[in-house]
Each structure stands twice: as structure tokens, then as C-alpha cells.
Amino acid sequence: MREVAFIKQNKEKWLEFELAIFGKAKKNPDELANLYIQMMNDLSYAQTYYPKSKTVIYLNHLASHIYQKIYKTKRAEKNRFMEFFKTEVPLLLYDYRRYLLYSFVLFFATVAIGVISARYDQNFVRLILGDGYVNMTLENIKKGNPMAVYGSGSNWGSFIGITMNNLYVGARCYIYGIFGGLGTFYIFLQNCIMLGSFQYFFYEQGVFWKSVRGIWIHGSMEIFAIVIETAAGFILGASILFPKTFSRVNSFKIGFKNSFKIFLSTFPFTISAGFLEGFITRYSIDMPNWLSSFIILFTLGVISFYYLLYPTIVYKKTQQL
């Protein structure tokens, strides 16, 4: 896009920014944060295509004033943490929503591969999960507690160990995206096939519902977060493979910055999943059906709302500014 067209396209928006910054009308911190995100996007674009233009100086001037208004007090600095989850990440999720779609389609397809493979190959589950784990689980099923493995160890020890492992798996899903997304695909494929074969194994043993009550108390957030981390890995890979009108280096910088924020947003959910697995899942066998179902639906509803519905709500809200 030529600079003249870029200015013409955004002129009215920038004038509104000036009124918000220098005019008498006051805007709350949420609205100012939204303005700052939009301004930084325009500034990044201008710096890429018109680096020596006065447009860059003008936009940098506006951005600096918005920044000062947002961060001039300690309270505003605390709000920055909230704005990251409340506005910044949802807007990025909306922009990259097709990558979330790709990840969920891949998730269901590869889980189905795990289920079908386990159904038609009796040795597949042992190949994926290992003889030791399968034999131990079969013994637990005979004893009437197929989820006994989650009751081993202390609460805090399980919580810390499980959380660190989940963060490690999520980090691999994301970081391996640097290999053009192929590394992310490979790690995700392994985990999804394992999940599919794992669930079919319990179905085959006649304890499917008991396994659902146990596994998905923490699994709703844990697995969902891995899907989002996979989407972030694909975004990172796409920024290298498909730079569009940017140079490959600039495309990678933008892709890394945006995908890392999305990846970082999964941490609270991954930690919450670890807490549930360490402190709650171990009691699923004695838990009433209604309670375990409520926990599963509630956790799934919270994370689904944040990543699938909330981004559209935030986007529509910013369009009304």
C-alpha cells in the first residue's frame, strides 16, 4: 500500500486518537489500552514500509502520549497485566482465528486416528503407552479404580511435577513451530494419537465413563491449552514460510511477538489443570457424578469462552470506539 493511501485510510481514526489524547473527553484505561494496541499496529506497519517518513514520527508521537496516559501511575501498571489478558490477547486470537480452526480440526482428526488404530490393532495401545503402564492400568481396573495412577504421590508433589511436564509439552508444541510448523505438527500428532488410543483403551475395558470422570476433570483445560499452544506454533511457522508483503525477517519478528503472547496466555490454564490433577482428580472415583460433570463442563466452558467467544466480543467492542 502506498503511503498516501495508508494515510487516507487511517486519517479519521488518528484524528479520533488525537481527541482522546489531547481533547477534554476522558477515556477509561480499557479504552486507552485499545487505542494503544491499534496505534502500535499502525506504527509497526509504517516503520516497516515508510521508515523515513514523517508518518512514523507522527504515529510515534501519538503512541507515546497514549502510553504515558496508561502507565503514568502504579495502578495503571497493574492494569497492564489485566489488559494483556482482557484485550491484547483476545484481539490477537481474533486476528489469527483461522489458526485456531486448523489446530482444532487437526486435533479431532488425529485423536480419531488414535481411536481407529487402537480398535483395529490390539498391540497399538501397548506400542504407544508401553507395557508397564498398560499392565498397571489393567490391575487398577480389576481392583475397581482405573484412575488409581492419579492418586499416587503427594498432592503438592503431583501438582508441581504435572504442571512442569505440561508446560514443557506446551513449550515444545510452540517452539518447534520455528521449523516451519512441522515440529509443532509432529509433537501435536504424538500427543493426540496417544490421547485417542488411551481413551479407546478404557472404552474397550468397559470403564469409559469412569475414565472420563477422572481424566477430563483436569484434561479439559490441559488438552485445550495444548491445542492453543499448537496454534501459536503454527503462527510462528507461517510467519517464516509466508511473509506476504513483509521481509522474512520482519514477518518472523511480528509472528514471534504475537504468537508468543498467545502461548503465554495458556499458562494460567495449564497451571490450573495441574492443580486439578494434583488435588482433585485423585478423588474422582468417590466423587458424585454431578460434581465431576460440573467441574468438567465448568472448566471446559471457561477456557472455551476465553479462546473461542471472547475474542469476537472484544473485537466488536473495539470497532465501536
Give tens-digit pLDDT for 218-242: 999 999 999 999 999 999 999 999 9
Output the pLDDT for position 113: 96
pLDDT at 30: 64
**Do 181 and 244 share a domain, yes or no?**
yes
Query: What is the number of structural domains in the chain?
Result: 2
Q: Is pLDDT at 165 greater than 90 in this prediction?
A: yes
Share of the chain above pLDDT 90, in %: 50
Same domain? For 221 and 291 the reply is yes
Q: How many residues does the chain have?
A: 321
Instruction: Please indicate, yes or no, whether residues 160 and 59 belong to a single structural domain of this protein.
Output: no
Question: Looking at the structure, do residues 122 and 62 belong to the same domain, yes or no?
Answer: no
**pLDDT for residue 259:** 95
Question: Are 247 and 99 contained in the same domain?
Answer: yes
Q: Are 31 and 169 found together in one domain?
A: no
Whole-number pLDDT of residue 79: 67
Q: Quick check: 178 and 236 in contact, CB under 8 A?
A: yes
Has residue 204 been placed in a domain? yes
Residues 222, 283, single domain; the answer is yes
Q: Which domain holds residue 49?
A: 3-72
Task: Note the pLDDT of residue 74.
Answer: 42
281 found inside a domain = yes
Helical axes 248-265 vs 267-279, angle rounded to 10°: 30
**Angle at the Cα of 236 from the Cα atoms of 64 and 277, rounded to 5 degrees:** 100
Please state, in angstroms and rounded to a whole number, the distance separating the CA atoms of residues 254 and 266: 19
pLDDT computed for residue 282 by the predictor: 81
Whether residues 102 and 66 share a domain: the answer is no
Mean pLDDT lowest for which of 53-62, 116-125, 130-139, 295-304?
Answer: 53-62
Where do we find the cell 488410543? Answer: 197
For residues 52 and 126, state if they share a domain: no
Q: Output the pLDDT for position 76.
A: 45
Are residues 122 and 28 located together in one domain of the fold? no
Examine residue 90 and state whether it is found in any structural domain, yes or no. Answer: no
Mean predicted confidence (pLDDT) in 99-120: 96
- Give the C-alpha distances (Å, rounded to integers) separating 258 from 60, 149, 222: 20, 38, 22
In a domain, 83, yes or no: no
pLDDT confidence of 62, banded at 50, 70, 90?
Answer: confident
Letter for the amino acid at 283?
Y
Q: Please give the pLDDT value at position 187.
A: 95
- Contact between 107 and 185 under an 8 Å Cβ cutoff? The reply is no
All cell numbers assigned to 81 = 497485566
Asked if residue 121 and residue 222 are part of one domain, the reply reads: yes
Is 85 within the bounds of a domain? no
pLDDT above 60 for 24: no
Q: b or e along 288-301 (b: 16 or more beta carbons within 10 Å of the residue's beta carbon)?
A: eeeebeebbeebbe
Helix runs in 24-154, H state only: 29-49, 54-71, 74-83, 89-95, 97-120, 124-129, 131-142
Q: 174 and 294, same structural domain?
A: yes
* Nearest residue to 276 (alpha-carbon basis) of 229, 222, 212: 222
